[in-house]
A and B are shown apart, each in its own frame.
Chain A
Amino acid sequence: MDFAFLFQTMKTLLAAVPMTLALFFLSIFFGGLLALLIVWMRVAKNPVVRNFAKGYIFVFRGSPLLIQMFLVFYGLGQFGFIRYSFLWPFLREPFVCAVLSLALCTGGYTAEIFRGGLRAVPAREIEAARSIGMSGFLLVRRIIGPIAFRHALPAYSTEIVMMVKSTALASLVTVWEVTGVAQRLISQTYRTMEVFLCAAAIYLVLNFLILQATALLEHRLSRHRRAAPRLP
């Protein structure tokens, strides 16, 4: 084993972790906001709005993320109204394209996950809230949202872990995150195994930490479903 090489590789790859984390956090954040909008449309009474959301979810869950990313990266510039708009300086940045397509995609998946959570909210508990005069946003914020989020959390934590791994695709649109840097190292050194093993180890550690965090959150939010503390 060439520990000096492994150490050097690790150092180089770790320097790319902030980029991976930036892709991850930004896409989870914007994807989460988008999911809220999509799920709100998905359960709307208006059939046009509802079907738009259905179509959105189908398209972004039904096609490969890599192709979505290529379409955003190579495709947006083809539209004159984008190319000549004030947004173009942003939208031609690979990083922005990667975040955009990651967020668009996770928005579709997360909307479906949140919808599952919504369906699990007992109608009686909503009715109890209405009966004391809650309605609209207050009802969503205090009762429906918190109960739905608790039901959605296990599936949502899986989606978050998937997103950490999906950031690797950004390397294909020339964003220098962990996988991209790993490939560049390989092309310089031809030592595929060692470099990719180091990269895999980094992803495993990231996901381990994320899973710990979501498990802790899940534990804290499910106190009401565990057995009551027994008194001696």
Chain B
Amino acid sequence: MLQDQQIDNATATANRLSVRNIRKSFGELEVLRGISLEAHDGDVISILGSSGSGKSTFLRCINLLEIADEGEIWVDGEQIQMVKKQGKNIPVSSRQVDHIRAELGMVFQSFNLWSHMTILQNLIEGPVHVLKRPRAECIAEAEALLEKVGIAEKRHAYPAHLSGGQQQRAAIARSLAMKPKVMLFDEPTSALDPELVGEVLRVMRSLAEEGMTMLVVTHEMSFARNVSNRVIFMREGQIDSDGAPETMFSDAASPAFRQFIGSFRG
């Protein structure tokens, strides 16, 4: 038993992200009912599931915007320290929480750029004030990132002056500026007009090709099928099925997943 635990912890330490048996309830409503996931370096994992299945809550529990009631989380070999209080997990150290969040990039459906700052200021905010790195260095890196996501000419514009697609690319660049170990995307293209989805997916695809470890909640089946190396289907707060896209998108998939896919083809 003890030996099992040690082997277990060894894999958790080797992985980029390791989530063990996470549970989360809001009052009476049990939203996550025991979810586990291991992400290796460079994994791109698409998380699919119908609305209300707990996908957002899962991502939010990983970067500690919500605290799971039960379960363990390891980020790049570091376990998040929890104590039990009235049967629920509470983080031991708020400094560790901040430190873990800084290591995990989060991209939101609604971009959530800081409206009173220019795009460049949005990008250097975290590196300068959270990581306390030299400003000039951060500006140079931020400009390179804006170049990479294709909005270098917008660096002195404010978020309200950008299209949705540009704002989401800026938000991705803002996360990347923190040099995250893992990137979490929560339906990054769901708030966009259809003609703007492509430009955001292209940025995500190139990130995947560079070897970034990514967890992507999405309804873009082409991304799940062609870019990710693993697909997870969530249903009612549990993982219904999990596998390589080739097996998931074949006849071997679970009936529930096939039905879910079917509803997408219309």
Binding site for B on A (CB under 8 A): 122, 124-125, 127-136, 138, 142-143, 146-147, 150, 221, 223-225, 227-228
Partner of A128, one of B99, B104, B112: B112
Minimum CB–CB distance for B46 against chain A, Å: 20
A136 vs B130: C-alpha distance when bound (angstroms): 12
Q: Which residues of A contact B161 (CB under 8 A)?
A: 227-228
List 8 contacting pairs A-B, 8 Å CB cutoff, sorted by A: A128-B106, A128-B112, A128-B113, A132-B102, A138-B130, A142-B129, A224-B158, A224-B159
Given known contacts A132-B102, A133-B99, A138-B129, A228 and B116 CB-to-CB distance under 8 angstroms:
no
A155 vs B157: C-alpha distance when bound (angstroms): 27
Residue of chain B at shortest CB distance from A146: B116
B178 at the interface (CB under 8 A from A): yes
Contact B101 A133 (CB under 8 A): yes
B108 at the interface (CB under 8 A from A): yes
Minimum CB–CB distance for A130 against chain B, Å: 6
Contact B126 A132 (CB under 8 A): yes
Given known contacts A224-B160, A228-B161, A133 and B126 CB-to-CB distance under 8 angstroms:
yes
Q: Which residues of A contact B130 (CB under 8 A)?
A: 132-134, 138
Partner of A130, one of B65, B114, B125, B158: B65
Q: Which residues of A contact B129 (CB under 8 A)?
A: 134, 138, 142
B229 at the interface (CB under 8 A from A): no
Contact B160 A142 (CB under 8 A): no
Minimum CB–CB distance for B186 against chain A, Å: 10
Minimum CB–CB distance for A55 against chain B, Å: 31
Minimum CB–CB distance for B199 against chain A, Å: 19
Q: Which residues of A contact B100 (CB under 8 A)?
A: 133
Choose among B108, B115, B174 the residue with the greatest number of A CB atoms under 10 Å from its CB: B115
A122 vs B112: C-alpha distance when bound (angstroms): 9
Contact B101 A125 (CB under 8 A): no
Contact B65 A223 (CB under 8 A): no
Partner of B115, one of A131, A138, A224: A224
Minimum CB–CB distance for A217 against chain B, Å: 14
Contact B101 A131 (CB under 8 A): yes
Known: A129-B114, A135-B94, A136-B94. 20 other contacts (CB 8 A): A124-B108, A125-B112, A125-B114, A127-B65, A127-B108, A128-B108, A131-B106, A132-B102, A132-B126, A132-B174, A132-B175, A133-B101, A133-B102, A133-B178, A134-B98, A134-B126, A134-B130, A138-B129, A224-B160, A228-B161
Closest 8 CB pairs of A and B: A133-B102, A228-B161, A224-B158, A128-B112, A131-B106, A132-B126, A133-B98, A124-B112
Contact B63 A131 (CB under 8 A): yes
B110 at the interface (CB under 8 A from A): yes
Minimum CB–CB distance for A218 against chain B, Å: 13
Minimum CB–CB distance for A54 against chain B, Å: 28
A124 vs B171: C-alpha distance when bound (angstroms): 13
A133 vs B130: C-alpha distance when bound (angstroms): 7
A130 vs B108: C-alpha distance when bound (angstroms): 13
Residue of chain B at shortest CB distance from A142: B129
A224 vs B125: C-alpha distance when bound (angstroms): 17
Q: Which residues of A contact B108 (CB under 8 A)?
A: 124, 127-128
Report B184-201 CB contacts with A as 1/0, cut-off 8 Å.
Answer: 000000000000000000
Contact A225 B160 (CB under 8 A): yes
A224 vs B161: C-alpha distance when bound (angstroms): 8
A223 vs B156: C-alpha distance when bound (angstroms): 11
Q: Which residues of A contact B98 (CB under 8 A)?
A: 133-135
Contact B65 A131 (CB under 8 A): yes
Q: Which residues of B contact A125 (CB under 8 A)?
A: 112-115
Q: Which residues of B contact A136 (CB under 8 A)?
A: 94
